C-alpha cells in the first residue's frame, strides 16, 4: 500500500465522497475531508497527499479559498489540485485554473473521467517528485547533494546576515577513508557512507541541512544556534560516529567548524573557513574538532 499514491478527496457531501472514493480506491490510497479547514490540516500533515480532488461549493471556506491557502504554503504548493464541481461555466473553470489547479471535473461524476484524470495527474506528480529527488539528493546516501546545498546555503547566509543571527557550518570528513576502501572494498565503503549519513540525519533538526559535499566529505548547517550549542552538537556527532562501528569497522571523522561573520560576504567564504579548520583537525591528529578563528 505504501507505494501507492495518496489522494485526498474533499467534499461536504457524503455521497460524493463515496462515489469518488469508489472510483480510485483500487489504485490509490484515499483520505477524505468534509470541509476546507479539515483539508488544510490533512494536506499539511506528512505524508502529504500526491493529489487533491477538491469540491468548489462548500459551506464556510469554499474550494477556491482552500486552493489559495494550499498554493501559498511551501509545504503544499506542489500538490496538484483537481476541482470537482457542478459549476460548468467557462469563467468558473478559468478561475480554478488561474488559482493553480491542474484540471477541472464537472458533476455529475463520470467514473471513467475521474479515473483517467487522476491517473494522469498522479503520474505527472510522481515523475516530478522523482526528477526533484535526482536534482536535489545524493543517490547513494539520500542526503542533499552539493548543488542543493550551495543553493540553500546561499539563501541561509543572506538571511542570517540580514537578520543578524548565528549560523554555523560543519565540514566533516571520514578519517582514512581511502584505507577503508582499499582494505574492505568500495561496496563496503559505500555502506559506511550510508550509515554515517543516516546518523547525520537523525541528529538534525528539521530546519538543519545535512549534505554530501563529495566523496567522504559532508557539510552540516544549522541556525540560529549559539556557540555553546553548536560545539555541543559537533561533539555529539563526533562521538556518535566514533561509536558507530559499522560492520565492525572502526570509523572516525574530523570536523571543522565556522561561524558566519560580517566578513563572510557569501557562503563560499564561510565554507572555506570551515574547510581550513577541518585541515587543522586532520593535521592535529584526526577524530577531533577544530574551530575556525
The residues near 263 (Cβ < 8 Å, ≥ 6 apart) are 269
How many residues comprise the chain?
Answer: 293
DSSP 72-139: HSTTTTTS-EEEEES---HHHHHHHHHTT-SEEEESSP-HHHHHHHHHHHHHHHHHHHHHHHHHHB-T
Pairing mode, if any, of strands 103-106 and 253-259? unpaired
Considering the candidates 94, 195, 216, 268, report the single residue annotated as catalytic: 216
164 φ/ψ sector (left φ>0, alpha ψ -120 to 50, else beta): left
Q: How far apart are CA 53 and CA 118, in angstroms?
A: 9
216 annotated active-site = yes
| Helix, strand or coil, per DSSP, at residue 269 | helix
Which helix (H) or strand (E) segment holds residue 281: the answer is helix 267-283
Active-site annotation, residues: 216
Amino acid at each position: 500500500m505504501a507505494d501507492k499514491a495518496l489522494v485526498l478527496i474533499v467534499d461536504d457531501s457524503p455521497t460524493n465522497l463515496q462515489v469518488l472514493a469508489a472510483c480510485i480506491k483500487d489504485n490509490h490510497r484515499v483520505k477524505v475531508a468534509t470541509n476546507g479547514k479539515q483539508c488544510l490540516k490533512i494536506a499539511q500533515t506528512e505524508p502529504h497527499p500526491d493529489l487533491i480532488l477538491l469540491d468548489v461549493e462548500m459551506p464556510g471556506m469554499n474550494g477556491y479559498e482552500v486552493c489559495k491557502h494550499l498554493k501559498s504554503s511551501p509545504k503544499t504548493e506542489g500538490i496538484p489540485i483537481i476541482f470537482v464541481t457542478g459549476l460548468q461555466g467557462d469563467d468558473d473553470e478559468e478561475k480554478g485554473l488561474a488559482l493553480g489547479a491542474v484540471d477541472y471535473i464537472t458533476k455529475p461524476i463520470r467514473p471513467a473521467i475521474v479515473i483517467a484524470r487522476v491517473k494522469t495527474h498522479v503520474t505527472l506528480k510522481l515523475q516530478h517528485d522523482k526528477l526533484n529527488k535526482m536534482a536535489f539528493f545524493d543517490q547513494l546516501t539520500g542526503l542533499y547533494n552539493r548543488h542543493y546545498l550551495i543553493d540553500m546555503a546561499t539563501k541561509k547566509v543572506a538571511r542570517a546576515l540580514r537578520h543578524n543571527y548565528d549560523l554555523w557550518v560543519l565540514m566533516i570528513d571520514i578519517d582514512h577513508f581511502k584505507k577503508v576502501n582499499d582494505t574492505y572494498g568500495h561496496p563496503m565503503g559505500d555502506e559506511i557512507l550510508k550509515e554515517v549519513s543516516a546518523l547525520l540525519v537523525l541528529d538534525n533538526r528539521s530546519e538543519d541541512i545535512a549534505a554530501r559535499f563529495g566523496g567522504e566529505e559532508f557539510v552540516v548547517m544549522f541556525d540560529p544556534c549559539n556557540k555553546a550549542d553548536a560545539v555541543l552538537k559537533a561533539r555529539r556527532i563526533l562521538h556518535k560516529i566514533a561509536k558507530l562501528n559499522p560492520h565492525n569497522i572502526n570509523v572516525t571523522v574530523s570536523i571543522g567548524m565556522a561561524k558566519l561573520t560580517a566578513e563572510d560576504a557569501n557562503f563560499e567564504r564561510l565554507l572555506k573557513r570551515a574547510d581550513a579548520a577541518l585541515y587543522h583537525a586532520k593535521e592535529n591528529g584526526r577524530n577531533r574538532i577544530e574551530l575556525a578563528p
